[in-house]
Structure 1
Amino acid sequence: MKVLFIGGTGNISGEISKLVIEKGWDLYLLNRGNRLDKIPEGAKAIIADINNEEEVSKLIKNMKFDVVADFIAFKPEQIERDIRLFTKKTKQFIFISTASVYQKPSAYHMITESTPLYNPYWKYSRDKIKCEELLIEEFRESKFPVTIVRPSHTYGIEKIPLAVKSGKGAWSVINRIINGKPVIIHGDGTSFWTLTHNTDFAKAFIGLMGNRSAIGEAVHITSDEAITWNEVYDCIGNILNVEVKKVHVASDLLVALKPELEGDLIGDKANSLIFDNSKIKRLVPDFIAATRFYEGVKISIEYLLANSELQVEDEEFDSFCDKVIELQEKIISSYKL
């Protein structure tokens, strides 16, 4: 099988690339070449910016693929470009969307692929919905061979799932836990959340590649394990052998103090998300998300502690946490009877 990945070296796509090579498939990675060390041995790099449509068109002029997957398309105009570039050049085009497209708040606790797509809180999600709509319309009008994949919160060795976190990585929160400082969890920490290890995600994704039954379909790939945010932090604390000092702060208050959190919280993490994975299991019958969260995050934490270059401090984030926690403590103290 001849495969082209646009991107191919990220948290999700990197693991899929490894499996493609293991299967002996012919893999091309089209990216800007900023992470050449992440390209698996045996893959062929096409160094270009996908946003330079004219250049990419020339580079793939005489090429055709069994599967093309775009891991870095976020806006409708990027999908319009992909349709122009890959019409009649691939037997299957896979678009990586997001599970945050599902209705917020959900009208039913179990998310299926038929759950309405509606997220007024996050432009990122609304843009992904528009991308999906463009692709489905193209499938209906001209049989463009699209498969839409919706990941939820997918993590791996270099990514630790956290509730309220720094934009510079996980270290700020992990370091606070190690040093006995309180950490912020949105709401009361009892909402359910689904976390999927990237190696599990990759197994399901591979099963969709070249799968004729997946053409014209949208499918999410997630674990069947749903745990609360309190349990997420308790797992991390157990691994670090530290009791986590959890401070619960209302999501609305966090957004009021830091508006850029609205999409990530109100549009995503503040909601309980439990997924019905019947569809992916029907399309890929041998798929099982085998990595329990405790096992997966233990590897991630050990990797972070072993690699000092990943231990990036964020004084602005730490200051924000301290101020929010202090503010809440003052409010509580001033209204105690």
Structure 2
Amino acid sequence: MKILKVLILGGTGVISRQIVEQLLIAGQEVVIFNRGTKRLAFGEDLEWIHGDKSDRESFQKLMSGRQFDAVIDMISFNAADARSTVETFTHTAGQLIFCSSVAVYKRPLKSNPIREDAEELFDNPEFGYAFQKAEMERYLQGVISEGQLPISIIRPSLTYGVGAANLGVLRQNYNIVHRIRNGKPLMMFGDGTTPWSFTFAPDLAKAFVGAAGNKRTFGKTYHATNEEVSVWNDLYVEFGKILGIEPKIVHMPSELLMRANPGLFGHLYYEKSYSGLMDNSKIKQDIPSFEATISLNKGLQMMLDWYENEAMTVDADKDLMEDRLTELHAQWGRQIEALNIVI
């Protein structure tokens, strides 16, 4: 097997740290580029380059003359970011692999389970994250069509893992455990029955590692997710099973939550109110090693272990926000009951 020299732009995030670990296990030569604000214990078998990718001129100078078999870009969020990567490595990389997102699928969806080639790209600027990622993909598709260099695009779905700060409807993380243990209600959007497949970072990393140097992935776009069918309520129910305490869950429309805090809840309204079940046939055909095997129960146990060993901190502001939202829900219920509507 040929040893690949792989550059990771990022390298210490929830997903990218797993990519680095799996590349090292596979015996690949790994180089990490990031700002150097976080240094993980990967050992001495890799090279670190520190810099700021947003300083495009400095970034290009740092990378000048360096050759890589593959560059995995985990830190491009818009077309300008992606253009910087393309322009920097057009003549010095054998392949570029970009991390996008399933948020780029335009809602309502046309397929279920979702198939890559059946969907259109998101086009509503009101949900900035999805729109900018879709703009990035539109730019990259133009580069692909021009045949400038091999590009692969991988779209993760909602992914959890050690180091994550995105678990829960309020992205409240350890607060979920805290609230269940203390008998406090948890806020869920909608009625909690929207289908979803929750993915964990060690599984997702297999997609990026399997794409590196893989000519079958050149010029193609894939999503890479778990295929275990759950609904959103299961996220809290499963935590309750692990803790041995039945959680108290209250439900509120995603539209009202978004009005309370568009920045925090916009993704629920624009993306997660629709089914999140994916058909992974395409990626499995080109990357046979990709298979998501971590169940929701096993993944949440991993998260609980991490919380209790390293990250057992309550976010007081989010705890107060959840208290206020659930109390508003209770008041709303009492007001409706008081109407005593008779038909």
What's the TM-score bracket when you normalise by the shorter of the two chains? over 0.9
8 Å CA contact retained: 1:48, 1:56: yes
Equivalent of residue 94 in structure 1, options 74, 86, 97: 97
Number of positions where the alignment pairs a residue of Structure 1 with one of Structure 2: 333
Note if 1:37 corresponds to 2:30. no
Structure 2 distance, partners of 1:231, 1:6, is 34
1:335 aligned counterpart, secondary structure: helix
Counterpart of 2:152, as a letter, is T
Given the two structures, how large is their TM-score scaled by the length of structure 2? Answer: 0.92
Equivalent of residue 234 in structure 1, options 234, 237, 245: 237
Equivalent of residue 127 in structure 1, options 122, 132, 136: 132
Note if 1:317 corresponds to 2:318. yes
Note if 1:151 corresponds to 2:126. no
Structure 2 distance, partners of 1:323, 1:57, is 48
1:203 aligned counterpart, secondary structure: helix
Q: Deviations over 1:22-65 (max 9, x none)?
A: 12111110111111235453110011111222222222222111
Question: Which residues of 2 match residues 80-229 of structure 1 at below 5 A?
Answer: 80-114=83-117, 115-118=119-122, 120=124, 121-159=126-164, 162-166=167-171, 169-229=172-232
Counterpart of 2:222, as a letter, is V
Unaligned stretches of 5+ in structure 1?
none
Structure 2 distance, partners of 1:36, 1:261, is 28
1:3 aligned counterpart, secondary structure: strand
Map of 1:247 onto structure 2: 250
How much is the aligned-residue C-alpha RMSD, in angstroms?
Answer: 1.6
Note if 1:73 corresponds to 2:76. yes
**Shift in Å, 1:160:** 7.4
Counterpart of 2:243, as a letter, is L
8 Å CA contact retained: 2:258, 2:266: no
Distance 1:108 1:139, change over 3 A: closer
Q: Single out whichever of 197-206 and 146-155 deviates more from structure 2.
A: 197-206
Map of 1:331 onto structure 2: 332
Structure 2 distance, partners of 1:226, 1:69, is 29
Counterpart of 1:118, as a letter, is F
Q: Deviations over 1:153-174 (max 9, x none)?
A: 11113337644224xx512222
Map of 2:307 onto structure 1: 304
Q: Single out whichever of 325-334 and 20-29 deviates more from structure 2.
A: 325-334
* Structure 1 segments of 4+ aligned residues over 6 angstroms from their partners: none
Counterpart of 1:143, as a letter, is Q
Given the two structures, how large is their TM-score scaled by the length of structure 1? Answer: 0.94
Structure 1 distance, partners of 2:10, 2:156, is 16
8 Å CA contact retained: 2:12, 2:40: no
Structure 1 distance, partners of 2:183, 2:150, is 52
Counterpart of 1:220, as a letter, is H
1:294 aligned counterpart, secondary structure: helix
Structure 1 distance, partners of 2:166, 2:245, is 18
**Shift in Å, 1:138:** 1.2
2:198 aligned counterpart, secondary structure: strand
Distance 1:262 1:159, change over 3 A: closer
Structure 2 distance, partners of 1:103, 1:48, is 34
**Shift in Å, 1:72:** 0.6
